[in-house]
Amino acid sequence: MDIRPILTTLRRHKTAAALIVFEVALTCAIICNAVFLISNRIDRLQRPSGLAEQEIVRIAIRSINKSGDAQALTRSDLATLRAIPGVISATITNQIPYGDSAWNSSVRLDPDQRIPTASTSNYYATSQFMKSLGLKLVAGREFTDDEILSWAVVNAPGYEASLPSAIITRALGEKLFPGQQAVGKTFYMWGDKPTRVVGVVEHLLRPNDLLFGAGASDYSVIVPLEVDYNFGVYVIRTAPERRDEVIKAAGEALTKNGPARILSESNDTLEAMSKKFYQTDTSMIWLLSAVCIALLIVTALGIIGLASFWVQQRTRQIGVRRALGATRGQILRYFQTENFLLTSIGIVLGMAMAFAINLALMKYYELPRLPALYLPLGALCLWALGQVAVYGPAKRAAMVPPALATRSA
């Protein structure tokens, strides 16, 4: 089809054509970045935690006056919790994913290294830790009883920091020792003495990644250290249908087992903690999805409105072309080609705007670069939208009778 008549017509309607081009460009720029952000949020929601989330209950209790042997009472608490009907296993640790605290350390491969190789989240583990959290060991072994250090001893005055062994995540192992088997390798985390990797777990999500980014979300180290209840939380594994029952029974048992202690108000299932933790991401997905849908609808309505207006304004022109032998298919293709040209110009401008918006997001919000794939996908979406939107007015134009158009002159 000769596009010169189309270009001539568009030059006579510069303002209307420019509005459609700008609308398409703005939609393209926003849609590409919004879909990219939605994709990132969905990936964040779907990342594995490494835990048996539906089976885990979190219980925290704190002493009022902190008198007595906290370590001995912690062991008594664990024995009490493990005796509760429905409890599969129970342990204590300093933190769990989706919590409100994070214990972190820098990891070096050389004791004199000034810039750390990675920043990790540290989980303190004692007996039944792996079983209680549902962690999957993919290499090496678990800790032996003689490897577990006492919190009281480690924090005693004059103690020289030393961590003989550790279990790390597979992601951290690939970061520290790319292309190598991590078990048996050493790194430095506490002091100048090396720590040997004795095991590797598939995943263990750090409590949060606000400071270190999503790329380091699976950089975790499990440390053989026994904390007491004042510095840790009890993790109980039970059947999903018995979680509420176990939370109530565990609270009552812990309150009776030790004097002058207060249960935390944040005791809950890990599944509920996960939903709360990702609530912002879920809301952002719905919000951005609504914005995308609204923009597409507004753009489609703009194309329909402008095409309908042009059909009405060009009734005589259409009639003359029909009288000169133009078929309905040619009239239909005329308006579709016209829309395709306007949409294409808008898409080109929109791609440039999308790139500029992404640069701003990278600079001010530390978001990743927009993959090039999103630009052609956005273009195809808008081309399809434009053709669908213009089809109705174009079909009405193709149905204009030549005689009626002539009488309306």
Instruction: State the pLDDT at residue 310.
Output: 83
Instruction: State the pLDDT at residue 407.
Output: 58
Per-residue pLDDT at 295 exceeds 90: yes
Percent of the chain that is helix, strand, coil (3-state, to 5) = 55, 15, 30
Instruction: State the pLDDT at residue 409.
Output: 44
Residue 126 — very low, low, confident or very high, per pLDDT cuts 50/70/90? very high
Type of residue found at 210: L
Between 179 and 309, name the one with better pLDDT: 179
Mean per-residue pLDDT of the chain = 90
Rounded CA separation 362/136 (Å): 35
Per-residue pLDDT at 161 exceeds 90: no
Average confidence (pLDDT) over 42-61: 94
Residue 2 — very low, low, confident or very high, per pLDDT cuts 50/70/90? low
Residues 304-333 have pLDDT tens digits of 998 898 888 887 788 878 887 888 898 899
Average confidence (pLDDT) over 215-220: 90
Type of residue found at 311: V
Rounded CA separation 314/307 (Å): 10
Angle at which helix 4-12 crosses helix 328-365, to 10 degrees, equals 60
Between 408 and 326, name the one with better pLDDT: 326
Instruction: State the pLDDT at residue 92.
Output: 96
Calculate Rg over the CA atoms of the chain.
32
Rounded CA separation 57/248 (Å): 11
Residue 87 half-sphere exposure, CB side, CA atoms within 13 Å? 25
Plot region of 252 (φ>0 → left; ψ -120 to 50 → alpha; else → beta): alpha
Largest Cα–Cα distance in the chain? 104
Q: Please give the C-alpha separations between residue 227 and each of 110, 153, 361, in angstroms, as whole numbers.
A: 28, 10, 42
Average confidence (pLDDT) over 137-145: 95
Q: Which of 11-20, 131-140, 267-276, 380-389 has the lowest mean pLDDT?
A: 11-20
Per-residue pLDDT at 408 exceeds 50: no
Per-residue pLDDT at 274 exceeds 90: yes
